[in-house]
Amino acid sequence: MKIGIVTNLYPPLVRGGAEWLTYLVAREFVKQGHQVIVITLAAPGAAGGDHGVGKTEEGVKVYRFNTGYIYHYLNAANHAKWLRLVWHIQHLANIPLRNQIVRTLIAEHCDLIISSNLMGLTFNLPRALKKVAKTYIHIAHDVQLLHPSGLFMVGEKRGELVESIYQFITRWLFGSPAVVIFPSQWLESEYQARNFFPASQIKVLRNPSPSSQSIVNKDRGKPMQLLYDGQAAEHKGIFWLINTLQSQPTKDWHLTVVLRGSADKRRQIRHLVSLDSRFSVSEEVPQKDVVKHYQNADLLIVPSLCMENAPVAILQALAVGTPVLASRVGGIPELISNGENGWLFDAGNVSDFYEKLTKATPQKLAELSASAQKNYQPVSLADYCANLLAFI
């Protein structure tokens, strides 16, 4: 079978867990004997992209396109709001790029087309994909169709006029793919409440754990080994977390920060912690080495200040028996239960965060780790891919 995957970012362009999942799913399909092509963005500054000429990468044929936009999707944070508005107008109406991608997919004769994050390519694609695909599945990973920023910030007012207009446009552009998959009940309800995908088959399907990972016996002493793994971005709460931890004189913890994303933000974080031995920073770590961080950590911290869907970091932690301390936002409570496999705290609430952190004694962490190992049932890549193929 030939499977086409359309996504904004694909390694080595990686910003978060969704990109790694797309990469691992593509490789799993190849492992199962399928032919896989990926349509994605060229790197910033890559002159001309591939002009429709795919290159084989680890058994996957990858087409990387330039978009012609005024800036690359990954550089959005470096530009003023008015320029981002111009970018969004281009992004909603990029018919030439849509036609390039559609011609490529038609030439490849795909039996199944799967799209995930399309922000940065063009939202003009879904209706065309439905026409050319024998089966078309869209996987929603975030709220990028509900807000131009792709974020719902905690405490932010919903339903403003610009947001409503934006949703009217994206609702029409996406129409109703044959199947729409959500990794959390929370995200599914957000889209359903706004009448998206009215004629699609809707399925909540939990993300797979990124890889098969062995559980190691942890030597829980002091300092307690904390881990943050994610984007170097304010909305992910990493700056809040650093400031919150630095405000306390205690030395009974050590935080390892594994960063991806904006080089400027990574530099800011390195500067913030440069004189504090309680922090160590790792950047652009290969996935095989990231696993070691999870295995060695006593507690993963997910301090998001935005509504999250189903963070891959949490799945990866639970897969190796590492408890999680996370913001009570979006779909996270579907994964974390207080006192069972971790704790939840109110996003941005320092006192609530410290109240939960003080509960993380070596004995309690050992209990939560044992509970996670016993009760967490990871979705394997093989099973996840089988579930996708079942829709054909």
Domain boundary assignment for the chain: 2-205, 224-375
Domain 2-205 and domain 224-375, same fold? Reply is yes
Taking the complete model, does pTM exceed 0.85, yes or no? yes
| Res. 212: pLDDT tops 60 | no
Q: What pLDDT is stored for residue 217 in this prediction? A: 65
| pLDDT tens-place string over residues 137-164 | 999 999 999 999 899 999 998 888 999 9
Average pLDDT score, the chain = 91
| pLDDT tens-place string over residues 106-134 | 999 999 999 999 999 999 999 999 999 99
Averaged over 339-362, what is the pLDDT? Answer: 95
Which comes out higher in pLDDT, residue 357 or 287? 357
Topology at the third CATH level for domain 2-205: Rossmann fold (3.40.50)
C-beta pairs of 285-294 under 8 Å, 24+ apart in sequence: 285/258, 287/20, 287/210, 287/211, 290/229, 290/258, 290/316, 291/211, 291/213, 291/316, 291/320, 293/227, 293/229, 293/256, 293/258, 294/213, 294/227, 294/229, 294/319, 294/320, 294/322
| pLDDT tens-place string over residues 287-306 | 778 888 999 999 999 999 99
Is there a contact between 1 and 63 (Cβ–Cβ < 8 Å)?
Answer: no
CATH architecture of the domain 224-375 equals: 3-Layer(aba) Sandwich (3.40)
Which comes out higher in pLDDT, residue 199 or 212? 199
Q: What pLDDT is stored for residue 52 in this prediction? A: 60
Rounded Cα distance between 332 and 336, Å, is 6
Residue 372 — pLDDT band, cuts 50, 70, 90? Answer: confident
